[in-house]
Amino acid sequence: MVMKNKSKVKVIPLGGLGEIGKNMTAIEYDNEIIVIDCGLGFPDMEMYGVDLVIPDITYLLNNRDKVKGVMLTHGHEDHIGALPYVLKQLNVPVYGTRLTLGLVESKLEEHEMLSNCTLLEVKTGEEVKTENFRIEFIRSCHSIADACALAIHTPEGVIVHTGDFKVDYMPIDGDVIDLHQFAKLGSRGVLLLMADSTNVERPGYTVSERIIGDNLTGIFSKAKGRVIVATFASNTNRIQQIINSSLFYGRKVAFSGRSMEKISSMAMELGYMKLSEDQLISVDDINKYPSDKITIITTGSQGEPMAALSRIAYSNHRKITIEKGDVVIISASPIPGNEKLISKLIDELFRKGAEVIYNALEEVHVSGHACQEELKLMHTLIKPKFFMPVHGEYRHLKQHELLAENLGMDSKNIFVLENGQVLELNRNSAARSAKVTCGTVMIDGLGIGDVGNIVLRDRKHLSQDGVVTIVVTIDKASFSILSGPDIITRGFVYMKESGDLINEARGVVKAELDKCMESKIKDWFTIKSNIKYSLGGFLYNKTRRRPIILPIIMET
């Protein structure tokens, strides 16, 4: 029986299933664990005030001696963003390609922990070896350069993890996704495929990045004023195409927004982006050139209120103001939840006189994820024995299951799992086994995990109806009111205009206190409960609102 246990490979999803974000999977065999990706997620609507979320890594901490390293598929936040928090607790080597590590480096530098971390560069085609695993980095294609798929050779068979991918036969940065290697692995036999499910709902093929470049050039050819393009700072291929269009029409290029400036300068340094020195200008100098000789590449494509494009639109940018004739291109699509912010941003840009071009009008953005036909290609090349859809909301995983079934796969060989659910495999079989601890750790300011459900429930409650504080000072000896009750509210009603309501409320509290005193109730807890109850009822009747009520009794 010990032998049997030893001979199983465990696939342990710690994040990324049933959600878009915080991707992280552990692969365990015997005394070793390797981790694939270490991403952050964005807070739900209900996570008031939370900045970001990361996976709960209790399982890894409980097995800390086993963990041999983190293998990164690419440099997007949902794959690398949790590293600063995770490495603080579990300092293991991090493996990835050049650009990916470049992005990790700048992140660790910000957290002042770079010098304590071990980053090990891997080239595509190379392998990382541990006692039990051989991890092959395979050239892939995504909306960021240097993206990889992984083939994890285990004693029980090969696991292929696609990472985030699409198939672009005409990539901007030269080499095509390594289909030959996938074919080779497939013909030799793959035990398990874990594949990107993001776009499984979309039929057909993802458009080539190159088409977007052609469309952008078309827009540049007609632009009579400045061209301002907002896109993801990490999409170096897109930015290269914007640079190329600018060059063609003799436009200088300025970068705006902290992450855009930072990542583009790093990408140029590492050779992932080419821009001659005389074409690059600072935003300080944009007014030295005619409008039709200027391109500004900026952050803020998601309508983020503090990002450069929003500041430009709402006239809060110190150096850039919208001028009539400006053409603004939103070269991105909304991350779910950001639709309204982006919509307001576009409206504001129109109001300021810009011409705004976005995906609903022209094809100026393309997804980085495989559509149905590309997924079918991957499944067909890999021919896995078992399949586990990853990287998607639950419905995406279910649709991906259906796609695999339609390709002839037996449904009992497909595993739609949730985070924490372990899949155990050996060369002949696969089965769900016990769950491990997993979950969402919320980060709010400097606090990691100190905001829990009670705090969130209160914040939600406060956001709906505000807070009403009642203070009264009582003389302990005589059990009589010395001062108060005073009422202070925030987020409930506008106090200056609601004087009557507040006065009446004070009366309600006073009456309740008198009643308690008459009945000789001297237990603060009961008195506070009674005040909450009567005042809550009174306020609800008057306003149909239920603010948080905080009765405070001071004894002297």
Residues catalogued as catalytic: 196, 369
Contact call for residues 167 and 370 (beta carbons, < 8 A): yes
Q: What is the CA radius of gyration of the chain?
A: 29
51 is in an annotated binding site: yes
Minimum Å gap between C-beta 343 and a second copy is: 6
153 is in an annotated binding site: no
Please tell me the distance from the alpha carbon of residue 284 to that of residue 317, in angstroms, as a whole number. 12
Minimum Å gap between C-beta 198 and a second copy is: 12
Please tell me the distance from the alpha carbon of residue 405 to that of residue 68, in angstroms, as a whole number. 35
Q: Which residues, 6 or more positions from 244, have their beta carbon under 8 angstroms from its beta carbon?
A: 213, 217
What are the b/e assignments for 476-498, b being 16+ CB within 10 Å? eeeeebeebbebebeebbeeeeb
A 10 A CB-CB count for 98 gives: 17
Token output for 110: 């910000």
Nearer to a second copy, 17 or 138 (CB): 17
Residue with tokens 């990790």: 104
Nearer to a second copy, 121 or 347 (CB): 347
Nearest to 346 by CA among 334, 358, 363: 358
Minimum Å gap between C-beta 441 and a second copy is: 14
Q: Which residues, 6 or more positions from 486, have their beta carbon under 8 angstroms from its beta carbon?
A: 470, 471, 472, 506
Nearer to a second copy, 3 or 454 (CB): 454
Please tell me the distance from the alpha carbon of residue 72 to that of residue 146, in angstroms, as a whole number. 11
161 is in an annotated binding site: no
Contact call for residues 411 and 17 (beta carbons, < 8 A): no
β-pairing, 94-96 vs 467-475, is unpaired
Minimum Å gap between C-beta 290 and a second copy is: 25
Nearer to a second copy, 180 or 395 (CB): 395
Minimum Å gap between C-beta 497 and a second copy is: 7
Nearest to 49 by CA among 445, 335, 467, 548: 445
18 is in an annotated binding site: no
Written as one string, the DSSP assignment of 481-514 is EEEEEEEEEESSS-GGG-HHHHHHHHHHHHHHHH
Minimum Å gap between C-beta 527 and a second copy is: 15
365 is in an annotated binding site: yes
Please tell me the distance from the alpha carbon of residue 534 to that of residue 489, in angstroms, as a whole number. 17
Nearer to a second copy, 500 or 523 (CB): 500
Biggest alpha carbon–alpha carbon distance for the chain: 90
379 is in an annotated binding site: no
Contact call for residues 283 and 254 (beta carbons, < 8 A): yes
301 is in an annotated binding site: no
Nearer to a second copy, 17 or 149 (CB): 17
189 is in an annotated binding site: no
Minimum Å gap between C-beta 352 and a second copy is: 11
A 10 A CB-CB count for 189 gives: 13
Nearer to a second copy, 304 or 393 (CB): 393
Contact call for residues 267 and 144 (beta carbons, < 8 A): no
78 is in an annotated binding site: yes
Enumerate the known binding-site residues for Ca(2+).
49, 51, 444
Enumerate the known binding-site residues for substrate.
233-235, 365-369
Enumerate the known binding-site residues for Zn(2+).
74, 76, 78-79, 142, 164, 391
Enumerate the known binding-site residues.
49, 51, 74, 76, 78-79, 142, 164, 233-235, 365-369, 391, 444
